[in-house]
Amino acid sequence: MVKREIITKLIMANKSGFTLMEVMIAVSIFAIFATVFVTGQGYNLIDSSKLKDEMIMKDLCENKINEIIINPPELRDSLTLAPETKDFENNKDYKYTIEYKKFFVPDMSKIKGSNDEEGKPKEEPPQEQLEKRIFKVFKDNMEKMIWQVEVTVKNKNNDSQFKLSSWLYNQNAEVQIGQF
């Protein structure tokens, strides 16, 4: 009988459960895990909504650029005076701005640095004079033929924006090739 009492006491001693300290440690670990998980999910939701907004703006921007490329306006100097801003007809939360810019080629002297220390033009040999005339014809023709269009789409609710630009070819430009 004594053996039975000893065995019963040993079994009862093993069933005593967790101590308060063990329970507090387990709850703390769970609380830290839950906090990190919920915070991470919150950031994922915020990033997802920003990404969705950026994708919408990108699509709207690409569509507007493609419309301009397919059906370009008459490219003239008055287009560069002020950007055109409008709302999208099918999406009132966004507006777009179209800005046209003429292609610009810097002067040959600025590219090559053909001025002396005082800023006066250096004496040019005949080969460089020919290069300069060829470059001027190239510059004049390129500035007539190539234009840049930049479309900016803005979200009216949070002021985020997406920009996209492309080159346009002016089919009506009169290219002149003169004597070199």
Classify 66 as helix, strand or coil.
helix
5-29, pLDDT tens digit by residue?
776 766 665 566 678 888 999 999 9
Question: With pLDDT > 90 as the criterion, what percentage of the chain qualifies?
Answer: 34
Tokens 């709207």 belong to residue: 60
Classify 126 as helix, strand or coil.
helix
Residue 180, pLDDT > 70, answer: no
Give the residues across from 87 on adjacent strands: 95
Banded pLDDT at 76 (limits 50, 70, 90): confident
92-138, pLDDT tens digit by residue?
899 999 999 988 888 766 666 655 566 665 666 777 778 888 888 88
- Domain ranges for the chain: 2-169
Q: What is the pTM of this model?
A: 0.64
Using DSSP bridges, classify how beta strands 146-155 and 94-102 pair: parallel, antiparallel or unpaired: antiparallel
Residue 60, pLDDT > 90, answer: yes
